[in-house]
């Protein structure tokens, strides 16, 4: 029997140049859905008052051939036939044939306010028409206004902003700052976490799927405080003792910092065990280190209960890193810290050519305004909780388990509840079938058997019903 348990696993996507999980699913997929006369009983997508203009460009096959010739060979794809999307509006996407899809993945937790939100587009267009780019060496009202607004959303003395272009850049900068400020080199991160694909961030990432064989210096990976598979269950302080041992036995007794996601995104959407961050932050600060909260996926109201994911653990970090939802799809990231810590970079100059450019920061400020104006954090809490409860109802029907908060949810598929054997092939099959029925979700975790559900924050109750009924319909007929 197929068992579904929400938690942690990874995205090894379909690659055309090698054997992959998706190709495996294609070659040996589970039995097809039963019944030929189910059409009248299929879940129905909610109505939506938008029709995209006709697409008259190159075909999906032509673009795929061009992409394979000219784009990097490690590019990955969901689905046997890669989806070609040409239009979007709020929580919906449209392919080249005009077919509508419910976007429950949000560009990997990136589209916060909705695709092509009119107020965000207006802010971007207005700034672009006036001034697209100069340099941070000149005054820029858009970046100053956005920095002020962003600082107002951060706790304590976290009020100095460094703008970047991505989450990887933000985490690289935060880790460098921690080493410079403390004068120490060792960094502690958490197994199964993901922090980026550059030098230090790749080292800090805690799973093999996202690492190359390059030198990794001064990085220690602590035991993952995983309530589902971890040896201490939900006892956060017990997991935190591993950080104490790393400091004692793996370093000189002093460290530069600690970095962690409050809810691991790529790792499989699961929350760190309660009480973990409080205990770890205390140990790291005693060892002279800084505490970095990676909010690239869990920030900007996505969890509903709080604006930042770390707030649910009752801690205040020394540095916050962010990206994805900060710009609703714009290439934008940021590091926020205290003025005292920020001063460590003044010994030389720090300049990011595109970080804080007028267009991106005008869009970022519009994102904050829309989240506030449309009460999207409340919607993430209300509808996200409703969606989670609907998924939990499937738990009893399909022996499933669900993790996460708000609109950052995960559902893990295993073939055996006791052994927790990853149902990787079945996960891919369900995703493929859901796409065919008009619902887009993601997957994650080390073995690729976790559904990642991270829709735009404008997701509705009707959208939640359609997603869950579609998933139920498919799994029930496997």
Indicate the DSSP class of residue 47: P
Indicate the DSSP class of residue 96: T
Ramachandran sector of residue 43 (left: φ over 0; alpha: ψ -120 to 50; beta: rest)? beta
pLDDT one-digit tens code per residue, 32-69 = 444 445 455 789 999 999 999 999 999 999 999 999 99
Name the residue among 110, 109, 114 with its Cα closest to residue 89: 114
Report d(CA 9, CA 449) in Å as an integer.
6
Q: How far is CA 194 from CA 17, 76, 200, 316, in A?
A: 24, 18, 12, 21
Q: How far is CA 212 from CA 11, 35, 205, 347, in A?
A: 16, 46, 11, 33
Give me 82's structure tokens. Answer: 């890669």
Quick count: other Cβ atoms within 10 Å of Cβ 368? 19
Q: Locate the DSSP E strands across 96-195.
A: 100-103, 160-164, 187-190
Indicate the DSSP class of residue 345: G
pLDDT one-digit tens code per residue, 373-412 = 999 999 999 999 999 999 998 877 776 678 999 999 999 9
**Residue 315 near residue 277, CB atoms below 8 Å:** yes
Note every long-range contact of 384-387, with CB atoms under 8 Å and residues 24 or more positions apart, other chains counting: 384/303, 384/304, 384/408, 384/409, 384/459, 385/304, 386/461, 386/464, 387/453, 387/459, 387/464, 387/467, 387/468
Sheet holding 85-89, edge to edge: 85-89, 92-95, 100-103, 439-440
pLDDT one-digit tens code per residue, 116-147 = 999 999 999 999 999 999 998 999 999 999 99
Instruction: Provide φ and ψ at 264, rounded to 5°.
Output: -65, 125
**Continuous segment of H or E residues that includes residue 238:** helix 236-250
Query: What averages of pLDDT result for each successive group of 10 residues across the chain (478 residues)?
Result: 48 34 40 47 93 96 93 87 96 97 97 98 98 93 97 97 97 98 98 96 95 91 96 97 98 98 95 97 98 98 98 98 98 98 93 94 98 98 97 78 94 88 92 97 94 98 97 90
């Amino acid at each position: 029997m197929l068992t579904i348990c929400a938690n942690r696993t990874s995205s090894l996507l379909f690659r055309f140049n090698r054997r992959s999980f998706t190709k495996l699913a294609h070659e040996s997929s589970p039995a097809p859905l039963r019944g030929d006369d189910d059409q009248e009983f299929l879940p129905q997508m909610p109505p939506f008052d938008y029709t995209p203009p006709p697409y008259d460009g190159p075909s999906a096959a032509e673009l795929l051939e061009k992409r394979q010739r000219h784009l990097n060979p490690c590019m990955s794809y969901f689905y046997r036939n890669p989806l070609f999307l040409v239009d979007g509006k709020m929580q919906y996407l449209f392919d080249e044939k005009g077919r509508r899809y419910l976007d429950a993945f949000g560009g990997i937790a990136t589209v916060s306010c909705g695709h092509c939100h009119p107020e965000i587009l207006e802010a971007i267009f207005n700034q672009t028409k006036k001034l697209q780019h100069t340099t941070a060496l000149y005054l820029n009202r858009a970046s100053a206004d956005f920095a002020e607004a962003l600082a107002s959303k951060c706790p304590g003395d976290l009020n100095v902003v460094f703008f970047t272009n991505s989450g990887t850049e933000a985490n690289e900068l935060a880790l460098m700052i921690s080493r410079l400020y403390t004068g120490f080199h060792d960094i502690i991160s958490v197994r199964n976490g993901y922090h980026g694909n550059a030098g230090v961030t790749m080292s800090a990432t805690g799973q093999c799927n996202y690492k190359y064989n390059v030198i990794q210096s001064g990085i220690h990976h602590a035991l993952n405080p995983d309530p589902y598979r971890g040896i201490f269950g939900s006892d956060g302080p017990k997991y935190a003792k591993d950080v104490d041992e790393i400091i004692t036995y793996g370093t000189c007794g002093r460290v530069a910092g600690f970095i962690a996601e409050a809810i691991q995104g790529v790792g499989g959407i699961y929350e760190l065990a309660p009480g973990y961050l409080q205990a770890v932050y205390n140990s790291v600060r005693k060892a002279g280190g800084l505490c970095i909260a990676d909010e690239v996926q869990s920030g900007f109201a996505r969890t509903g209960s709080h604006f930042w994911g770390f707030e649910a653990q009752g801690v205040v970090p020394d540095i916050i890193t962010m990206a994805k939802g900060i710009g609703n799809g714009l290439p934008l990231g940021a590091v926020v810290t205290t003025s005292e810590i920020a001063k460590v970079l003044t010994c030389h100059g720090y300049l990011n050519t595109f970080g804080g450019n007028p267009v991106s920061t005008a869009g970022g400020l519009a994102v904050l305004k829309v989240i506030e104006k449309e009460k999207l954090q409340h919607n993430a809490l209300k509808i996200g909780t409703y969606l989670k409860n609907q998924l939990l109802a499937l738990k009893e029907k399909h022996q499933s388990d669900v993790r996460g908060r708000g609109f950052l949810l995960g559902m893990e598929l295993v073939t055996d509840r006791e052994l927790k054997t990853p149902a990787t092939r079945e996960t891919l099959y369900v995703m493929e079938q859901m796409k065919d029925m008009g619902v887009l979700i993601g997957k994650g975790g080390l073995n690729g058997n976790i559904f990642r559900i991270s829709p735009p924050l404008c997701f509705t109750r009707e959208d939640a019903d359609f997603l869950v009924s579609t998933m139920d319909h498919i799994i029930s007929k496997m």
